[in-house]
Amino acid sequence: MKKRTLGQSSLEVSALGLGCMGMSFGYGPAGDKNDMIAVIRQAVEEGITFFDTAEVYGPFTNETLLGEALAPFKKDVVIATKFGFDIDRAQMKHVGVNSRPENIRRVADESLQRLKVEVIDLFYQHRVDPNVPIEDVAGTVKDLIQAGKVRHFGLSEAGANTIRRAHAEQPVTALQSEYSLWTRQHEREIIPTIEELGIGLVAYSPLGKGFLTGKMDENTQFATGDIRNILPRFTEEARKANQALLDLLQQFAVRHNATTAQIALAWVLAQKTWIVPIPGTTKGHRLTENNGAVDIVLSAAELQEIAAATAQIDIVGTRYPEQMEKSTGL
């Protein structure tokens, strides 16, 4: 597995990470614990060193899963987790954002226990809290870094001004935001900003929440509790309309003797050397397939060809419902 460094930091990780949310949360019923541990450990065997979780995934159960799965390997891997939500512990669900300093400190201590580690490698603010100045958030994480509980500070889905203000208080190692061939709004302002500041990009949902794998169509049914049931981009009409993007990917898949998923990941990897995609999966054979993307090189001419073709394709459906996009969309 090739390696990449996140921005101008010292944080080196595998060129592809593993997003672990879907093992416990977000896409229907949680996976069998032993099966998920097997996939995580297979990832380590295949050279993945970068694992992504959050306290809100479950809540709590995903961190616990990673803590158990990665216990034998914790000196060899980088684990990223996140703070920033209020969690109703009676109903076990998040009920809004909360980045007050006391909550950040509490989450850090609890995450350390669940992950079975002595230090959190990368600690992201999961969503910007409009009620807490970002300088207070960054300052609190700075204190945690000085206390030896956290190594690196990250933000998720933050705007350019917020990133600049946070970075001035405590250098931001990575921004985690959605980025793929069908989610590219961050190219306008966010990616130029983090490039200027030397911040890495961790691209979540680089396979478009599964759509870019080509394994679903307008007839696909999602399980109860699957977030895609409420996403505008995953209505039957939208999936049918967005088939044009899959048709394009398939052309390049045939050319490279690859899958559409591998081409989608290779495209993200080709955008910048400091971008690390973190596709999620619950299946070992898909993990191996995804990891094969690091060996696919799209030429400059091919990237131009993709750029020209995608400029003619209008993606149907927003990525989140309006209220979710504005507030705490996961």
In whole angstroms, what is the distance from residue 114 CA to residue 79 CA?
Answer: 12
The crossing angle, in degrees rounded to 10, of helices 134-146 and 160-169 is 40
Cis, bond preceding 29 (omega within 30 deg of 0): no
In whole angstroms, what is the distance from residue 62 CA to residue 80 CA?
Answer: 12
In whole angstroms, what is the distance from residue 18 CA to residue 284 CA?
Answer: 12
Given 57, 124, 179, 320, the catalytic residue: 57
Closest C-alpha among 78, 1, 6 to residue 273: 6
In three-state secondary structure terms, 310 is: helix
Identify whether 57 is a catalytic site residue. yes
The first and second tokens of residue 141, run together, are: 């994480």
Is there a contact between 117 and 148 (Cβ–Cβ < 8 Å)? no
Q: What is the dihedral of CA 69, 28, 92, 327, to 10 degrees?
A: 110
In whole angstroms, what is the distance from residue 145 CA to residue 121 CA?
Answer: 10
Closest C-alpha among 294, 291, 285 to residue 38: 285
Helices (H), the chain: 33-45, 61-69, 101-115, 134-146, 160-169, 190-197, 236-241, 243-256, 260-271, 284-291, 300-310, 322-326
In whole angstroms, what is the distance from residue 224 CA to residue 227 CA?
Answer: 9
In whole angstroms, what is the distance from residue 274 CA to residue 271 CA?
Answer: 9
Which sequence positions are flagged as catalytic? 57
